[in-house]
């Protein structure tokens, strides 16, 4: 299986674990580190709504907590015809940990689009300002 397929398959599989009883909007994400390790996440909703975590942040935080620090690619999977991009909060987190990473958006029907994070998140605020 091609490397990009492996990433997409991981994001799609993670979507199956989504805990989304309030929105019913299930999302999966996968991040790949420089060693080729994959880390996955799904959205995990909360009754208070505001404590909900998106799939992308779960995947990144899992990776960081496992010691991964350099990332090459991120995939996001959702069941939408217009491919679902990361929300603003996730763009900030992805930027801080992954930089201008390759971002693959996908849906359940095999539609994909590959972007760079910088194109979705121009002029970011980050540690370089501190």
Q: By CB under 6 A, name the one of 45, 59, 75, 98 that touches ligand THU.
A: 45
Q: Does 93 bind ligand THU (CB under 6 A)?
A: no
Using CB under 6 A as the binding criterion, the count of chain residues that bind ligand THU stands at 15
Q: Does 60 bind ligand THU (CB under 6 A)?
A: no
Q: Is 96 a catalytic residue?
A: no
* Integer CA distances (angstroms), 87 to 24, 35, 72, 76, 94, in order: 17, 27, 20, 11, 10
Compute and round to an integer the Cα radius of gyration of the chain: 14
Contact 71, 32 (CB under 8 A): yes
Q: By CB under 6 A, name the one of 3, 23, 34, 82 that touches ligand THU.
A: 23
Q: Does 46 bind ligand THU (CB under 6 A)?
A: no
Backbone torsion region of residue 29, taken as left when φ is above 0, otherwise alpha when ψ lies between -120 and 50, otherwise beta: beta
Nearest to 75 by CA among 95, 102, 108: 102
Q: By CB under 6 A, name the one of 40, 43, 106, 107 that touches ligand THU.
A: 43
Residues of this chain that bind ligand THU (CB under 6 A): 20, 23, 25, 27, 43, 45, 52, 54-56, 76, 84, 86-87, 90
Question: Which residues are the active-site residues?
Answer: 56
């Amino acid at each position: 299986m091609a490397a990009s397929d492996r990433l997409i398959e991981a994001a799609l599989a993670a979507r199956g674990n989504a805990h989304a009883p309030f929105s019913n909007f299930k999302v999966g994400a996968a991040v790949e580190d420089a060693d080729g390790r994959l880390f996955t996440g799904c959205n995990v909703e909360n009754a208070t709504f505001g404590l909900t975590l998106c799939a992308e942040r779960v995947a990144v935080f899992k990776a960081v907590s496992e010691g991964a620090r350099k990332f090459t690619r991120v995939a996001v999977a959702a069941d939408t015809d217009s491919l679902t991009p990361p929300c603003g909060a996730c763009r900030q987190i992805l930027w801080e940990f992954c930089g201008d990473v390759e971002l693959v958006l996908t849906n359940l029907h095999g539609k994909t689009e590959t972007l760079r994070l910088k194109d979705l998140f121009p002029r970011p605020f980050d540690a370089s300002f501190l």
